[in-house]
Amino acid sequence: MDSMHDLSLPPRFDGAFTLPADRHGDYLRAVGGGHPVHSSRELAVRAGFADVPLAGIHVLGAAMATFTRQFARHPMQLLKVDTRFVRPAYPGDTLALALELLDSEAVAATPFVAGRYQGYCATSGGQKVLMLDFKIRVAPAGG
């Protein structure tokens, strides 16, 4: 690897996160309430959920934050995110995050390394909640 690209992306990432009920409430307040299925148990049950589900985009945001925290000192760009919501997650669920680097390459004439990851979030029982496929660019820390 040349001196401009002295960073390599991790080939695998395993982590976990929990979104407790108070954070769910914070998220709903931040987005102006969202769809009522995420705050009304009665509506959620009528919609076929076991209880009030977390908003899928909230789960996605927490998953991305869990992964990108390792690059906190590095300039980073999120280029693309594809996701599929497989089943609901509920406040208080601990979700495992498993990601695999599919490919990476140096970005010509920049200090960035680009990478594509695929993976999923799953409940403690192993049920997949969210499928992820995303591309990032990361540069070495420092300036």
Give the model confidence (pLDDT) of 64-117 as tens digits.
Answer: 999 999 999 999 999 999 999 999 999 999 999 999 999 999 999 999 999 999
d(CA 141, CA 50): 44
Q: What are phi and psi of 118, to 5 degrees?
A: -130, 150
3-state SS, residue 8 = coil
Rounded Cα distance, 117 and 136, in Å = 8
Identify whether 143 is part of a domain: no
Nearest to residue 97, comparing CAs of 73, 55, 69? 69
CATH number at residue 27: 3.10.129.10
Residue 25: domain span: 3-138
Question: What is the domain count for the chain?
Answer: 1
CA distance 90 to 105: 37
Sign of CA dihedral 38, 43, 45, 46: negative
Q: What is the mean pLDDT of residues 120-126?
A: 96
The CA dihedral of 142, 81, 14, 58, to the nearest 10 degrees, is 100
pLDDT at 18: 96
Structural domain contains residue 115: yes
Whole-model pTM above 0.95? no
Residues across the chain = 143
- Tell me the sheet residues that pair with 83: 132
